[in-house]
Each structure stands twice: as structure tokens, then as C-alpha cells.
Amino acid sequence: MRLLRVCALAGAAVSAALLFVSVAPAQAADLGYGSIKDIPPPPSGRAWYLKGTIGMKNPEPDSIWTNGHGNDGYQTGDFTVHHVDIKSTALFGMGIGIEHSRWLRFDVTGEYRGKQLFVAQDSYNSGPCGTPGNCGTNEYTADLESWLGLVNAYVDLGTWRGITPYVGGGVGFGAITVMGFKDVNVPNDSVYYGDKDKTTTNFAWALYAGVSYDVTPQFTLDLGYRYTDLGTVKTGTATAYDGSDSYTGLQIRDIVSHDLLFSARYRLDQPQPVYPVAFK
């Protein structure tokens, strides 16, 4: 019964709309207006916008790995990782996009994710600790500086009193530079330094969820969460402080980031005015 009522109401609405369209030109002519062709086309609903973002990122590496000298690294099973962390810092971004419809948006964004401190500790035991070199610890530190570029798509889930929840996703590339890598082994009185800064560029992807608020027809504020996958980075070769030895360095594996984003969007397109039909 409810379905029949809905169908009946929908049919009545369509019939009324068709009747209005058929009668409107004749009424316009009777009143001295021009033909229906004089009415400007409706706006497309598409609008370009600029976007600025500030936020906080909370990166989390899944693990670390080193091959050591090729045969004495983590593959031996003698190592235990005690701690791995990348500190949180601010991020800054900007972009340009288009509101394709009231439900769908696209933008291209670029982001500087700042410098953050990487720290990790491990220990190893490859035999009796009385034998030099069999036991020890490593304390790793480095600065990570990263950039992120994404192509994003968002689905707006409807607007209530200017508030619009949304979900989205993006793909692109992330570039992470490892700077000032240092490996300190206190029990064995050794220090290794990264030979040079090393940049790794990876495929990156992201998922979004958030809510926006239309302050004015052209200005929107946006608060969102983003899950970002940045991949694995490498420190490059590390050499002992006295130049006596070197090893392959460290891998920081499977970095993901939980990002809190506060954005502002400014629509470049002015709202299109409705022009009256001229008298003739």
C-alpha cells in the first residue's frame, strides 16, 4: 500500500511538472515576455575551489629491519626489537579541486609533513656474552622529513543546516628523507653514522572521514581524519665513527599515519544570478 501511494504521488508530481512546462511558454507570451529560449540555462552546479590545510600527524612504523653486514643481521634470529617510534609533528598542505556535484568532489593536494624524530632500540645475543661482540644493544635515531602528493575523491553524504559529513580516498606518492642516521652500541663502544641523507619515494594511499561546515556560500571549514599508508624507507649505508667498518643500515618498514586535518575551502566560482526574461 505504501509503495502504491509513493508511485501515485510521484506520478502526480511528474504530471504537474509536465503541465507547467507546457503552459509556461504560452503564459509568458500572453504577458509580453519573450520565448522560453530567452531564459538562461541553469547553473551546472560545478565549482572550483582552493584548499588550505593544517594538522597533526601520528606516524606508526610496523617494524625495523637490518641485514647487518649481509649475514649477521635480523635474519639470524639473534635480535630482539624493544621499541620503535616516530614522533608526532604538524603538517601543512594546499590544493585545488572541483565540486563535481552536490555529492561528489575531487582535488589534488600537496603536503609538507615536516621533520619528525625516529627512535628505535634492539639487543642481540649470538653467544656467550663474555666473548667480545656476542652481545650488545643498538640505539637508532634519525630525523625524517616527508612530502605527500595525493589525488583525492570524496563523497558528501548530505547536508543538514550547513553541516556535511563525508568519506573519501586518495592515491599518490610520498617522499621521505632520512637525515642524520646514528646507531649507538654502548656495550661495545661503537657508533655508526649514516653516510648521507637518503630519500625514498613510495606509492601512497589514504582514506578519509570527516565533516564540513558551510560558513558562507563560498567558504567552508572542514575537520577530518585520514589514514595514510606511506610504505617503507631506508637509511642507506652506515659507517663506524673511525671508518673501520660499515653495514647496510636500517629499514623502517610499513609506515602508516593517523592524521587529524583542519582545512578551509574557498570556492572560486561566484553564485550565478537568475536573470529575468526581458520584455519585448
Strands (E), the chain: 47-65, 79-86, 89-99, 104-125, 135-156, 163-185, 190-194, 198-214, 219-234, 238-240, 246-247, 251-267
Burial of 44 (0-12, 13-18, 19+ CB in 10 A): exposed
- Alpha-carbon gap, residue 168 to 109, rounded angstroms: 13
Per-chain mean pLDDT for the chain? 84
pLDDT above 50 (res 248) = yes
| Each residue's pLDDT tens digit, 115-144 | 999 999 999 998 888 888 889 999 999 999
CA-wise closest residue to 126 among 193, 187, 85, 200: 187
pTM attached to this predicted model: 0.77
Which residues belong to CATH 2.40.160.20 in the chain? 47-267
Weakest-pLDDT range from 55-64, 109-118, 122-131, 266-275: 266-275
Structure-model confidence comparison of residues 209 and 188, the more confident one: 209
- Alpha-carbon gap, residue 135 to 73, rounded angstroms: 13
Grid cell, residue 148, equals 605527500
Identify the pLDDT of residue 45: 61
Phi-psi region of 92 (alpha: psi -120 to 50; beta: other; left: phi over 0): beta
Report the CATH fold assignment for 47-267. Answer: Porin (2.40.160)
Mean pLDDT for the stretch of residues 73-87: 93
Grid cell, residue 79, equals 635480535
5 φ/ψ angles, rounded to the nearest 5 degrees: -65, -40
Residue 260 — very low, low, confident or very high, per pLDDT cuts 50/70/90? Answer: very high
